[in-house]
Chains A and B, each alone.
Chain A
Amino acid sequence: MTARSFATHSKLVGGGGSIAWGRPRRSAFPSRSGWPVLWKLVGLVAGLCTGVATAAARPLDQAIPGLFGGTLITTPQQGVPNAVIKQSQQLRFASQFNSLSSELSAAHAQSPIPSASGAFRFAWDPELDTFVRASEDLGSGVAERASTLGRHTGTLSFSYTHIDFSTLEGTPLNDLTFSQPAYSPNLQPLLGNNVISSHLNMGLSFDTFFFMGAYGITDSIDVSLALSVTEAHMHATVVSQIQTQNGQPGMNFFLEKNNVLVASSGKICGYNPNIPNQQLDVRCATDRFDSSVLGTGDVFLRGKWHFYDTQYADFAVAGVLTIPTGNADNFLGFNDFTFTPWLIASKDFGRVSPHINLGYAFRSGVDVSQAEWSDFLGYHDDKRDGINDDIFQSAVGFKVNPFDKVVIGGEFQFPLNRDGIRADVIYSGQIEYTY
């Protein structure tokens, strides 16, 4: 038996960003996480409209590899600016963050996007022997149901998501440590096996606004489009020290002249140009950055077909094409086109409406292909590099229908494991209008 009519559902996946404006800062930057959402939106729109902000000095994915200008120079001779024996070192965590950029884009793309809610639907009631008009529940904020909007029905929605990443593979982002030999193996017999021990305190957050429109072409086919505007904020402070294997001060030094580090950026720890002849420990070097970028994101086009109903489950398939209009170098979008087919199953059983979404994001080798699912939320990388390989999230949320055609909702996502780069909580809010 099939009974199909108006339904109410549609969701777009989001992420990304393109035209990028940035505000590189190398000084303390007051946290803006406390800004009300409205002020954030005003700031984002103003930035986009006026174009006052300038382009970032370098893309965000190069910010951490670019600490110390990309390299530190170690030498056994203190205070000799042009030491004969020296070795240029690229900090190893730089390469780790190079490989993290595509995973960051993928992680950002997990932010929930508006899920269209509907008003009512008709279903055949065998007991009453007639069709019955029923108000549709407002649905999940982060997953799809099989039902569609219905012919000539549309929704416009707007949502805000805040992601403040807090851990990397389970380690707090503000307490990352890395260690590497101070010299290459061929120099170690001569200069010893001191190590460069680095402590990295970093932060990365996204404030994303999604704009989405969905329309029912037929009773069972929806199309929709979504785009986003995102502000990404990243900061980091690194302190690198030359130590023995036991953690004692090493016998080697960073190359410096008059306590000034010989590097494209950074300084000897504690160096202050206003205090002349200050004696400092030249086995310690530090650098930092604080940058934000503002940009539009990738464009998401989606089609959904509600094709089959049974007593226990209704089925739909959906396809999402992601057009890479975002700036991947700033974690605002993917590098290449993505196509994600979805299989959606759901059913209303009184006040309970279980649903499951299974999808696979086909991406280029530069990006990360993923199997994705909900509920609960998660994805699984095909790039088995030990970073972001298996992501499991849970979500709670609410939706209310304060006016006839307006739905307001909020969702909170929590990590169920600590793989990859993760936020303790992902906050989202949305408002939707059905016409």
Chain B
Amino acid sequence: MTGPHPCRSAGARVVAAVVALTLLSRVGYGHAQLLNPPAPVSQVLEEYRVALENKDLDHLVALYVAFSARQRQALHEYLENAAGLTVELADVTVAPLGDAVAVTYTRRDHFVDRESGKPQHLEVRLTKILVPDGEGWKITDGL
């Protein structure tokens, strides 16, 4: 009687685990609702993107309902260190949330780290809550 070869079965388990984790890594970005963002929301996002690229802290702060001094300091440090920053917002989806909307998008930052001189490529998937504020919308919170 012959059983499975120990090397082969152990190897198969490792390969299976790797494949499973690879597949799982793709699941996290799945979102059921895909809506075209309304024009006002798109405008906020574009202002946000351009303000980041221009390192316009005052404009960025104005897009938020509240922005702490600690947040401002952290953002200032990040922008100061990011030479030639370009920001891309992609895969935007919007879901109504009462009077507010939940906006989910992928943010990709490309820049050169001033301290090391190394090019950087960062990517993060974010969800922000936007609420009506006068004529437009403002960012209140993130998930």
Taking Cβ atoms with an 8 Å cutoff, the residues of A that contact B are: 1-6, 119-120, 122, 124-126, 128-133, 150-153, 219, 307-308, 315, 317, 341, 343, 358-360, 362, 369, 371, 382
Contacts and interface: CB of A to CB of B under 8 A. Distances in A.
B91 interface: no
Contact of B21 (A120, A130, A308): A308
B118 A315 contact: no
For A4, A130, A150, which residue has the most chain B Cβ atoms within 10 angstroms? A130
B96 interface: no
Contacts of B74: 125, 128, 130, 132
Q: Which 4 residue pairs are nearest across A and B when measured between Cβ atoms? A: A308-B25, A128-B74, A124-B124, A130-B75
B60 to A, nearest CB: 10
Contacts of B14: 341, 343, 358-360
Interface in B78-124: 78, 81, 109, 113, 115-116, 118-124
B78 A152 contact: no
B121 A151 contact: yes
Given A2-B125, A6-B113, A360-B11, A128 B120 contact: no
Contacts of A150: 118, 120
B21 to A, nearest CB: 6
Contacts, number: 95
Contacts of A122: 120, 122
B77 A133 contact: yes
B11 A362 contact: yes
B34 interface: no
A369 B7 CA distance: 7
**Which of A1, A131, A132, A369 gathers the greatest number of chain B CB atoms within 10 Å?**
A131
Contact of A317 (B18, B71, B119): B18
Nearest to B5: A382
B17 interface: yes
B78 A130 contact: yes
Contacts of B126: 1, 124
B70 interface: yes
A15 B26 CA distance: 37
Interface residues of B, number: 35
Contacts of A382: 6-7, 10
B10 A3 contact: no
B78 A153 contact: no
Given A130-B78, A131-B109, A371 B10 contact: yes
Nearest to A309: B25
B7 A343 contact: no
A371 B11 CA distance: 9
Nearest to B64: A129
B119 A341 contact: no
A219 B121 contact: yes
Contacts of A341: 11, 14-15, 18
B33 interface: no
A315 B142 CA distance: 25
A285 B55 CA distance: 86
A8 B57 CA distance: 31
Contacts of B124: 1-3, 124, 131
A191 B119 CA distance: 83
B2 interface: no
Nearest to B29: A2
Contacts of B81: 133
A126 B142 contact: yes
Contact of B122 (A3, A315, A358): A3
A343 to B, nearest CB: 6
A120 B78 CA distance: 13
Contacts of A315: 21, 25
Contacts of B118: 6, 150-153
A4 B21 contact: no
B39 interface: no
Given A6-B116, A120-B116, A152-B118, 19 more contacts: A2-B28, A2-B123, A4-B122, A6-B113, A124-B122, A129-B71, A129-B142, A130-B71, A130-B74, A131-B124, A132-B74, A133-B78, A133-B81, A150-B118, A308-B24, A317-B21, A341-B11, A369-B6, A371-B10
A147 to B, nearest CB: 14
Nearest to A361: B7
Nearest to B116: A119
B120 A343 contact: no
Contacts of B143: 126
A152 B117 CA distance: 11
Contacts of B10: 360, 371, 382
A152 B125 CA distance: 25
A2 B28 CA distance: 10
A5 B71 CA distance: 21
Contacts of B121: 5, 151, 219
B119 A152 contact: yes
B6 A307 contact: no
A307 B71 contact: no
A119 B118 CA distance: 11
A131 B7 contact: no
Contacts of A125: 74
